[in-house]
Chains A and B, each alone.
Chain A
Amino acid sequence: MMRVRVRYFASFREATGIDDEWVDTDAKNLRALFDEAMARHAGLDHEPAALVAVNDCMADWDARVGEGDEVLFFPPVAGG
């Protein structure tokens, strides 16, 4: 079991109703960690264009999760 901090932005924050949470997880990668978040938050849903970052670096959804990581879930971006 690892303990990680998960942060939600924009529409994901509105869907979960929270900015962040600490979670205990066995998720094998970031995709699985997001699936667990969906199970906890009924309003959260898959977004094909969503991005993910770990410890302020952009990451791949297949990347592993590490103890103490700060995982950032980004809904589809729309700058400019």
Chain B
Amino acid sequence: MSFSITDGPIDAGALRALVQDPHCGACVVFEGWVRNHNEGREVLGLEYEVYEPLAVSEGLRILAEARHRFGLSGVACVHRTGRLGLGEVAVVVVAAAAHRDEAFRACRYVIDEVKRRLPIWKKEHYRDGEARWVNCRHCVAADSEGLAAS
């Protein structure tokens, strides 16, 4: 079980090797990529901010939950911090189990909980020069009033 934060490219192959186990017949890998659009706006890149002490401890807790719930053999996750360009890998989850059903469900559980619970924030940089924190209600309101910093 491994959870980490990195400011460099993620090696999905190395992560998969971590969970390799002769008891496993399935390994599901999820990669989150930086895409070029969100909610109708053209995105040029992202900036992640992570509060690492708690992201790691809570991340490990999520992996332990997944292992317990789905009877996984191995599970691991790496999340990026800092600035990322289009197409870069922002997060990787690997889940290995005896059979594919548990592996798929566990992988889905981990990425959903990572997005919901970890102290990680994402700022999108748009083609028009604006930047905005994602999911921030107040920031959206400020944007619509033209108050957002450019």
Q: Do A and B come from one complex?
A: yes
The interface of chain A, by Cβ under 8 A from chain B, is: 9-11, 14-15, 45-49, 51, 53, 56-58, 72, 74-80
Q: Is the CB of A76 within 8 A of B54?
A: no
Q: Is the CB of A77 within 8 A of B121?
A: yes
Minimal Cβ-Cβ distance residue in A for B122: A78
Count of chain B residues near A, Cβ 8 A: 32
Q: Is the CB of B138 within 8 A of A15?
A: yes
13 contacts between A and B (CB under 8 A): A9-B119, A10-B133, A11-B136, A11-B138, A45-B138, A47-B137, A58-B58, A58-B117, A74-B51, A78-B134, A79-B55, A80-B32, A80-B111
Residue among B57, B115, B136, B138 making CB contact with A79, cutoff 8 Å: B115
Q: Is the CB of A79 within 8 A of B54?
A: no
B116 interface contact, C-beta 8 A: yes
B114 interface contact, C-beta 8 A: yes
Q: Is the CB of A77 within 8 A of B133?
A: no
Q: Is the CB of A79 within 8 A of B114?
A: yes
Residue among B58, B115, B119 making CB contact with A80, cutoff 8 Å: B115
- Compute how far the CA of A80 lies from the CA of B115 in the bound complex, rounded to whole angstroms: 5
**Which 8 A-B pairs have CB atoms at the shortest separation, nearest pair first?**
A79-B120, A10-B121, A80-B115, A76-B135, A78-B134, A78-B122, A11-B133, A78-B135
